[in-house]
A and B are shown apart, each in its own frame.
Chain A
Amino acid sequence: MNKQNLLADLHHSGKPYIIYKSNKGFNLYTNFSKKIILNKKNIYKFLNKKNINKKCKKTDLFIGFFGYELLNNLIGIKIPKQKNINLPKGIFYKPETKIDLTNNLNYRNGDNIKQKNNFKININKKTYTKIFDKFKKKIKSGETYQIKICTKYKTSSKINPLDFFCRLSKTNLAPEAFMIKDKNYSIISCSPENLITKKSSLITTKPIAGTVKKNKNMNKVKALNFFRKNLKETKEHNMIVDMERNDLSRICKVGSVKLSKKRVVEEYKDLFHCVSLIKGKLKKGIKNIDIIKAMMPGGSVIGCPKISTLNLLNNQEKENRNIYTGSFGYIKFNGDMRFNIIIRSILNFKNISEISVASGVVVDSNAKHEFNENYIKAKALIDLFK
């Protein structure tokens, strides 16, 4: 049977499934034999599962996501009462089937649902500027060095997630893209950012800080120059590199943490990203839970230093971030892991779609610029609602 038909048939069968970007194309996971809904109590048991050392099958893994709140709870940070849609704090699945797909995902939406596109933003420009100025003062007094304010766009709509994901992968083939389709929710994401790749005792993280749009006048060399000359982007990036070195140093052997790619430009379909790659060798006796607590929530989407900045953010934000700035990925039964940072995503739950975006406040950033930047980031996803 043709694999594209397989995807369409699977979708229409109503069975839950997950698609995750691989090196060569996409992987499709389905026939889930277990579904684990995480909370702040059972997560320890989930993460403390013993690894098996013998060769594991390609479906010997749990795949799913940790929401932002759960990751805060794990490192002992409480979140004040917020507006909450009661999406589970984290969900993982045990697949019994894994199928390789090519990069060329084709699916024609036969449902013919008229998509509504009347997104509403939860923070207007005026309020945003107020929050922005408040955080700028906190930077001047040294309470934070960099902080990312989250804004949310919402609309009520029924969507066909497979149709959205296929269209999104045509315009933006992001290296950490994924989608989850379950009965009562779906997630469509073109995340570009890998937070953890762990293979036996080797671990890497690949933070992104710095984005520039591609156009006729912007090639890879010019993009690199742009990032080098732009002092604000340079400083933001440097800070993230030192913070990620720090997080890896918590769990890695002394002297093993190395900056193996320093501020290189990666080219995507519509944009350039400025990325670094940091590697380390895990200390003996480090468990997966230690790794997750050291690395999550990923620093590049929070700000720095992590703890005080998380507290400032959580006291400010009135709505639960849900999946945004959480992590999606898998844990294999042999202990290997791959996790991304959930950004550039649509969460559809109870027929409400939400898109969250954030951009950084550092001392020399400008409220109007960052507010517009947020809109640009959301627009690529909002445009799918046509």
Chain B
Amino acid sequence: MIYIIDHNDSFTHNIVHQFSLFDKVECDNYNNVNKAKLKKASIIVFSPGPGNPKDYPITSKIYKEFKSKKKIIGICLGFQQILFCEGAKIVEQKKIYHGFQSSIQVINDKSLFYKGRKFKVGRYHSLKLKEPFKIKNFDITMRCLESNVAMSFENSKDKIYGFQFHPESFLTINGNFLIKKILLA
């Protein structure tokens, strides 16, 4: 079972539908998390949402508790949340991408995806990862071709994955493929 933690976002249910193509999905709000479901889940997903990772201490706590015990996937805010828990800084960016389709590229040969492969993806984020960023076992694996902003990380040792873009958006081409590959990893 995949357990999706929602951060009051208006895109979370698109993610629920997308992940439901592959497995049974449960979804609850971050301030109404069910411990039994957390325990039972094989995969935990942190949804997108408004604001900043520091606004969601409950989610941070869940991450720290289940890191390296279960597969964890973060999308948009969820991506930032995981990196924030690992000590990264999340900062405002000059150019903001809301409802924007960008070309991104796989830049790392440790990725599940072929290095050099390009994707068209939908973005909704005000904040970004501050770089340089160096944390053991975490690799930035995709970047925006225009702005070079980090678009995905992978930690294959602990099975932690994050997308800054929205794989569930209608603006993302091949979003289901991206999710399937990560779920199978």
Contacts and interface: CB of A to CB of B under 8 A. Distances in A.
| Pairing of A with B | yes
Nearest to A294: B13
A314 to B, nearest CB: 15
A308 B51 contact: yes
A140 B92 contact: yes
B20 A254 contact: yes
Interface residues of A, number: 36
A145 B13 CA distance: 17
A149 interface: no
A69 interface: no
Contact of B13 (A142, A235, A238, A249): A249
Contacts of B21: 254-255
A260 B92 CA distance: 35
B48 to A, nearest CB: 8
A353 to B, nearest CB: 33
Contact of A242 (B49, B96, B126, B166): B166
Nearest to B126: A142
Given A145-B126, A254-B21, A139 B96 contact: yes
A250 B99 contact: no
Interface stretch (B4-12, B57-65, B146-154): B4-12
B12 A139 contact: no
Q: Which residue of A238, A241, A304, A308 has the most chain B CB atoms within 10 A of its CB atom?
A: A238
A58 B39 CA distance: 52
Contacts of B122: 238, 242
B143 interface: no
Given A139-B96, A235-B99, A362-B98, A144 B50 contact: yes
Contacts, number: 100
B100 interface: yes
Interface string A253-297: 011010100100000000000000000000000000000000000
B12 A246 contact: yes
Interface string B56-98: 0000000000000000000001000000000000001000101
A234 interface: yes
A363 B12 CA distance: 22
Contacts of A307: 8, 10
Interface residues of B, number: 31
Given A236-B99, A362-B98, A305 B13 contact: no
B14 interface: yes
B170 A305 contact: no
Contact of B10 (A140, A142, A247): A247
Contact of B8 (A236, A237, A257, A308): A308
A250 B52 contact: no
Given A241-B170, A308-B50, A142 B127 contact: yes
Q: Which residue of A234, A246, A254 has the most chain B CB atoms within 10 A of its CB atom?
A: A246
B13 A140 contact: no
Given A255-B20, A262-B170, A308-B8, 13 more contacts: A139-B96, A141-B51, A142-B125, A143-B50, A145-B50, A239-B99, A249-B17, A254-B21, A259-B170, A305-B8, A305-B11, A307-B10, A309-B50
27 contacts: A139-B126, A140-B126, A142-B52, A142-B125, A142-B127, A143-B51, A145-B50, A145-B98, A237-B99, A238-B170, A239-B124, A242-B10, A242-B122, A242-B166, A246-B12, A246-B14, A247-B10, A254-B21, A255-B21, A259-B170, A305-B11, A305-B50, A308-B8, A308-B50, A309-B50, A363-B98, A363-B126
Top 3 nearest A-B pairs by Cβ distance?
A: A235-B99, A142-B126, A238-B99
Interface of A: 139-146, 234-239, 241-243, 245-247, 249-250, 254-255, 257, 259, 262, 299, 304-309, 362-363
